[in-house]
Amino acid sequence: MIPAIIFGYSRKDELLSVIKCCVDNLVTPIYVNLDFPATKAIEEIQTHIISEIEHLVDRNPGLDIRLRRSKRNLGAANSIISGIDWLFSEQETGLILEDDLVFSVDFFRFMKDQIHVFENMIDAWIISGSNFLSTRDSISPILVNYPVTWGWTTTRFKWVSMRREMLKRPGLTSIRLFSKRNYWWVGSRRAHDGYVDAWDLPLAWAMKINAKYSIVPPVNLVSNIGFSNSASNTVGLKFPLNLPVFRLPKFGSSESSLVIDKNHEKFLEKHVYEIKVARRISYVLTVFDFLRFSKKKYPSLEIRVKNTTKADFDFLNLNNGL
């Protein structure tokens, strides 16, 4: 089965549930990434998380779990980018998961089955587990020009390209009058300049300008549970949070059967990203970002990633019986 990395922070029960789901589906090894706790309460939760993982390994001979916790709070973007770097420093292929996900029983099978198609597709960067527009009548995977990243897979080779393009700050010459892609230009610029802590905005921009795609399953295989008492980023339920998951229909699996679904992309733009006309011209307001975000929290994204090294982490390899 494909190795996986799981990003956690303060949701003990949810994280342990995702780990257990990986164990039940023979995912190995399992990488667990914890960002440094911002409060004493979160530190105590993480101590319990580590203890529970140690007990899980003790009860399951042969289980290989590799845990990493940062020695300083890196923030979401740097934590995820450096975590995926860690995964692909040791593996050729990997699942990227977070602690707030619930899976269809067919999620892991879909990821495994699509790899042989995905590896040969130059224009595909991601195998996604989410389909926000799916119905039980959907019959085949599609391609969309957006990163659909609630439970996804990629390879080391593709991650090198993704990472390189994500860390390029968008230039002014990339703006197109009234284009929807300007929305992603603004988000990526703000992430690069440290005004917002996001990794998915630069990824979306990189996919748009490089014409790269996600393979989206015919039905939704992953649900983001949204709000919980220990949620660190999600503060309420809003579409597409907490969607139902389905069983996979039977379908042919080949590169030739995958088509770009423009209707799906329009649905995402309207109902998920909410790209309205005003957001297409919001780039004109970025000249005032230094005032709007006068209390900028982070250095540039490129500098943060570049200055993060192995010395910034504590590692714990839990591989009972190996």
Q: Cis link prior to 240 (omega < 30° from 0)?
A: yes
For 96, half-sphere exposure in the C-beta direction (CA atoms, 13 angstrom radius) is 28
Q: Which residue has the tokens 């897979």?
A: 153
Going from N- to C-terminal start, the domains of the chain cover: 4-312
Residues 6+ apart with CB under 8 A from 294: none
Task: Say how far apart CA 213 and CA 114 lie, in whole Å.
Answer: 14
The reported pLDDT for the residue numbered 283 is 77
User: Computed over its alpha carbons, how large is the radius of gyration of the chain?
Assistant: 19
Closest Cα to residue 48, out of 14, 96, 91, 23?
A: 14
Residue type, 15: L
Return d(Cα 130, Cα 236) in angstroms, integer. Answer: 19
| Contact assessment for residue 316 and residue 67, using Cβ atoms and an 8 Å cutoff | yes
Distance, CA of 281 to CA of 274 (rounded, Å): 14
Residue 222: φ, ψ to 5°: -140, 135
The answer to whether domain 4-312 has CATH 3.90.550.10 is: yes
To the nearest 10 degrees (0 to 180), the angle between helices 75-88 and 156-166 is 150
**Per-residue model confidence (pLDDT) at position 295:** 73
pLDDT at residue number 132: 93
Cα distance between residue 295 and residue 293, in whole Å: 5
Q: Beta strands 4-8 and 30-34: pairing type?
A: parallel
Judge whether 224 and 241 are in contact, CB under 8 Å: yes
pLDDT given at position 232: 46
Contact status, residue 253 vs residue 113, Cβ threshold 8 Å: yes
Q: What is the 3-state secondary structure (H, E, C) of the chain?
A: CCCEEEEECCCHHHHHHHHHHHHHCCCCCEEEEECCCCCHHHHHHHHHHHHHHHHHHHHCCCCEEEEEEECCCCHHHHHHHHHHHHHHCCCCEEEEEECCEEECCCHHHHHHHHHHHHCCCCCEEEEECCCCCCCCCCCCCEEECCCCCCCEEEEHHHHHHHHHHHCCCCCHHHCCCCCCHHHHHHHHHHHHCCCCCCCHHHHHHHHHHHCCEEEECCCCCEEECCCCCCCCCCCCCCCCCCCCCCCCCCCCCCHHHCCECHHHHHHHHHHHCCCCHHHHCHHHHHHHHHHHCCCCCCCCHHHHHHCCCHHHEEEEEEECCC
> For each of the chain's 322 residues, which pLDDT tens digit applies?
899 999 999 999 999 999 999 999 999 999 999 999 999 999 999 999 999 999 999 998 889 999 999 999 999 999 999 999 999 999 999 999 999 999 999 999 999 999 988 999 999 999 999 999 876 566 789 999 999 999 999 999 999 999 999 999 998 878 787 788 888 988 999 999 999 999 999 999 999 999 999 999 999 999 999 755 444 444 456 878 999 999 998 876 666 678 999 999 999 999 998 888 777 777 777 766 777 777 777 889 999 999 999 999 999 987 754 4
What pLDDT is stored for residue 254 in this prediction?
61
Whether pTM > 0.85 for this model: the answer is yes
**Cα–Cα distance between 229 and 235 in angstroms, integer?**
9
